[in-house]
């Protein structure tokens, strides 16, 4: 779970002062626009955790604090193998923080970045997409929508699993409010998000999954223009490239499923992750992977050829 070095006061102060009661910071993992993430040791339960701390300069910013604790509440209420699990939340001095499970591995974005062509094989991509969809279904069943699904928010554990993270912008699916509007990352924003709608549901996450799948197979998301505004406009006005024209080795089944997720009109996308999973599980490669898993789990019975006495 490596990430760029952190610069600024929070890295040095946390490293020196150890301000989180019961935790010892051992490594800084990364920093976003509003928070920094650290690897730490939970001295009470003798386990590794990841600690997310709000940048001190934002401690009086009501929106930043609300979003921060919104993520803490979301990860605390969700218990699923494909969603990062929350463990603890608190405030120590000027630091708002929460602890979550430490995922030993890397994000999908980091993996794609270190690959020479920035792409995965079709079978591996399908596995990641399926596990993500299973996690999204759980999020959906708990009345939430992530609203910013992208490779950077998918953690790939060293054991091979996929975990959805960064639920800071996730919201409950209730009567929509204009103040709940949030812009997703432009390369993965659904047309309704690009248009500025605030009535966003799980179908926006499925569109983000389609953009992520497209990138895993081609090396780039479907729309990537010079400016964020141009990219958002492309989501509204342009059709994604035909995957099989970009790479004839890809199967027709994969191409069709990606295009289904990338429908401009959300009414033409899967209604729920479960709807998508029903079709995904009929994919020929999915059936092949299941056969391989079954064969690997079948014990080999060796005949005893020793002569009987």
- Whether residues 139 and 34 share a domain: the answer is no
User: Do the domain assignments include residue 3?
Assistant: no
- Whether residues 158 and 227 share a domain: the answer is yes
CATH value at residue 73: 3.30.200.20
Structural domain containing residue 63: 9-101
Residue 227 has pLDDT above 60, yes or no: yes
User: Do the domain assignments include residue 296?
Assistant: no
**2-11, 141-150, 254-263 — most confident range:** 254-263
Residue 169 has pLDDT above 70, yes or no: no
- Whether residues 132 and 78 share a domain: the answer is no
**pLDDT number for residue 273:** 98
Catalytic residue (choose from 42, 148, 166, 205) = 148
Structure tokens at 22: 């019961």
Average pLDDT over residues 194-221: 95
User: Do the domain assignments include residue 203?
Assistant: yes
Is 88 assigned a catalytic role?
A: no
- Whether residues 60 and 88 share a domain: the answer is yes
Confirm if 37 and 51 have CB atoms less than 8 A apart: yes
By CB neighbour count within 10 A (0-12 exposed, 13-18 middle, 19+ buried), where does 91 fall? middle
- Whether residues 19 and 55 share a domain: the answer is yes
**pLDDT number for residue 7:** 38
Q: Rounded mean pLDDT of the chain?
A: 84
- Whether residues 96 and 240 share a domain: the answer is no
Q: What is the pTM of this model?
A: 0.83
Q: What is the rounded CA–CA span in Å between residue 43 and residue 51?
A: 13
User: Do the domain assignments include residue 299?
Assistant: no
- Whether residues 218 and 252 share a domain: the answer is yes
Q: How many domains does the chain have?
A: 2
**pLDDT number for residue 67:** 81
**pLDDT number for residue 127:** 95
Q: What is the rounded CA–CA span in Å between residue 187 and residue 222?
A: 8
**pLDDT number for residue 80:** 94
Helix (H) or strand (E) holding 90: strand 86-92
What does the pLDDT look like over 253-306, one tens digit per residue?
A: 999 999 999 999 999 999 999 999 999 999 998 877 777 666 655 565 555 555
What does the pLDDT look like over 74-96, one tens digit per residue?
A: 888 889 999 998 888 888 877 88
- Whether residues 212 and 90 share a domain: the answer is no
């Amino acid at each position: 779970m490596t990430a760029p070095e952190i610069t600024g006061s929070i890295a040095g102060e946390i490293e020196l002062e150890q301000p989180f009661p019961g935790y010892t910071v051992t490594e800084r993992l990364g920093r976003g626009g509003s928070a920094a993430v650290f690897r730490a040791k939970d001295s009470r339960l003798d386990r590794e955790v990841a600690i997310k701390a709000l940048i001190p300069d934002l401690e009086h910013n009501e929106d930043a604090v609300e979003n921060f604790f919104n993520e803490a509440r979301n990860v605390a209420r969700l218990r699923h193998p494909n969603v990062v699990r929350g463990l603890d939340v608190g405030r120590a001095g000027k630091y708002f923080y929460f602890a979550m499970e430490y995922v030993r591995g890397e994000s999908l974005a980091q993996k794609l970045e270190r690959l020479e062509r920035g792409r995965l094989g079709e079978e591996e991509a399908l596995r990641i997409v399926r596990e993500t969809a299973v996690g999204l279904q759980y999020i959906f069943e708990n009345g939430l929508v992530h609203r910013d699904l992208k490779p950077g928010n998918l953690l790939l554990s060293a054991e091979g699993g996929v975990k959805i993270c960064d639920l800071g912008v996730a919201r409950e699916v209730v009567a929509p409010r204009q103040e709940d509007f949030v812009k997703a990352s432009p390369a993965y924003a659904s047309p309704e998000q690009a248009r500025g709608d605030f009535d966003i549901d799980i179908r926006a996450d499925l569109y983000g999954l389609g953009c992520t799948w497209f990138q895993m197979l081609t090396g780039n998301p479907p729309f990537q223009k010079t400016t964020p505004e141009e990219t958002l406009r492309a989501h509204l006005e342009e059709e994604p490239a035909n995957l099989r024209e970009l790479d004839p080795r890809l199967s027709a089944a994969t191409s069709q499923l990606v295009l289904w997720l990338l429908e401009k009109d959300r009414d033409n996308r899967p209604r729920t992750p479960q709807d998508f999973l029903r079709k995904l599980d009929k994919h020929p490669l999915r059936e092949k992977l299941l056969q391989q898993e079954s064969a690997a789990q079948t014990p080999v019975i060796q005949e005893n050829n020793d002569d009987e006495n």
